[in-house]
Amino acid sequence: MQPKKNIVHLPVYQPGKPMEEVKRELGLTEVIKLASNENPFGCSEKAKEAIAAEIANTSIYPDGGAVQLTEALAKQLGVEPNQIIFGAGSDEVILMIARAFFEAGDETVMASHTFPQYKHNAEIEGAVCIEVPLKDGTHDLDAMLAAITERTKVVWICNPNNPTGTMVTHDQVAEFMDKVPSHVLVVLDEAYAEYNMTSEYPDVFQLLSTYKNLISLRTFSKIYGLASLRIGYGVGHPEVIRSINQVREPFNTSRYGQAAALAAIHDRSFINRCREVNAAGIRYLTEQFERMGLSFYPAHGNFIMVEVGRPAAEVFNGLLRQGFIVRGGHQLDFPTKIRVTVGSQEQNEKFIQALEQVLSEVAAEV
């Protein structure tokens, strides 16, 4: 059997090493995973209680339209229920957007170094990907605007950008949207929006009231700590959401995911605490990087990309031997950088100690 010709070159997504595998391979008793931008504090206790309560309903299909969750989220965000669509993580919403809007030969614009699922799903549908280089690790919106043609269907903006952690501001996005042709859908992927601590971050719900060709993607995988339940969502104009809904699979989110998300959005104290601790973690790590003479991109999510000045693969493997799983820049086309998730204060301190040791060992080998 022969697969579609346009997918044979596509890479298979390579997740970070699981902790159990690293423990087994290296004979370690403690492994700290700082590779996948997960919440080190888990999820809300209210979400755990909601998950437990759903066990009795395991044999029953979930609500295909996630009606109760949609209504609650719409009320919290200040939008209408018909402006929201749920997916198995925001990854599936990306897939649905690609399925709904791309025909073979259409063009799509994205940054050269950003979340790889934009390109992956676009190419599956036969779209042509136009990749625009980042500027100092940040989306170059002027260059992306210049890359738009009559064949462009979708522009992807990851904000904060994964893997660099940088962001574009509200005014920059508004200026960009003013100039984007109305036939082009702009996807503002805001998976880490809840970690924002600056007033310059885009107010996407204000922008949505002005621009019908804008959609925001968000997720319960990051600050909400529900990554294993795979639930995320998109918010946009009702016509855009309807088009995406036409390609959505029935029952695409689980009862557990819906119940946990519904409980999680009402536990604001948990979210606020995680945001504040994460900000403190960023301050600590950046201060330590500065002390060590290491440069880094400004961090606006729950991770930092730092220049280690050595081959990233060597530093990655050195940290692995110390019991730390990070994301090596050699896997992301940043050959001398690593991306590290902000952990708890204890994890951050242990990571810095391990990084200093690894860097000194690598330097000694040169």
Q: How confident is the model at residue 352 (pLDDT cuts 50, 70, 90)?
A: very high
Consecutive H or E run containing 306: strand 303-307
- To which residue do tokens 């579609």 refer? 4
Residue 142 sits at φ, ψ, to 5 deg, of -65, -45
Written as one string, the DSSP assignment of 218-267 is: EESSSTT--GGG--EEEEE-HHHHHHHHTTPPTT-S-HHHHHHHHHHTT-
Residue 29 pLDDT greater than 80, yes or no: no
Tell me the torsion sign for CA atoms 280, 340, 131, 234: negative
Alpha-carbon gap, residue 346 to 350, rounded angstroms: 6
Residue 366 has pLDDT above 60, yes or no: no
Looking at the predicted structure, is the pLDDT value of residue 236 above 80?
A: yes
- What is the pLDDT, as a whole number, of residue 2? 66
What is the full DSSP assignment across 281-301? HHHHHHHHHHHTT--BPPP-S
Q: What are phi and psi of 249, to 5 degrees?
A: -75, 145
Domains of the chain from N-terminus onward: 5-42+269-365 (3.90.1150.10), 45-267 (3.40.640.10)
User: Rounded mean pLDDT of 71-77?
Assistant: 97
**For residue range 166-184, what is the model confidence (pLDDT) as tens digits?**
999 999 999 999 999 999 9
- How many angstroms from the chain centroid is the CA of residue 25? 29
Q: In which element (H, E) is residue 37 found?
A: none
Q: How many helices (H) and strands (E) does the chain have?
A: 13, 12
How do residues 105-126 score in pLDDT, each as one tens digit? 999 999 999 999 999 999 999 9
Residue 74 exposed, middle or buried by CB count within 10 Å (0-12, 13-18, 19+):
middle
- Tens-place pLDDT, residues 246-293: 999 999 999 999 999 999 999 999 999 999 999 999 999 999 999 999
> What local confidence, expressed as pLDDT, does residue 13 receive?
66
Reference 39, options 234, 216, 191, 262; nearest CA is 191
For position 254, what pLDDT does the model report?
Answer: 97
Whether residue 121 contacts residue 127, with contact meaning beta carbons closer than 8 Å, is answered with no
CA 191 to CA 89: how far, in whole Å?
10
Looking at per-residue pLDDT, the higher value among 74 and 11 belongs to 74
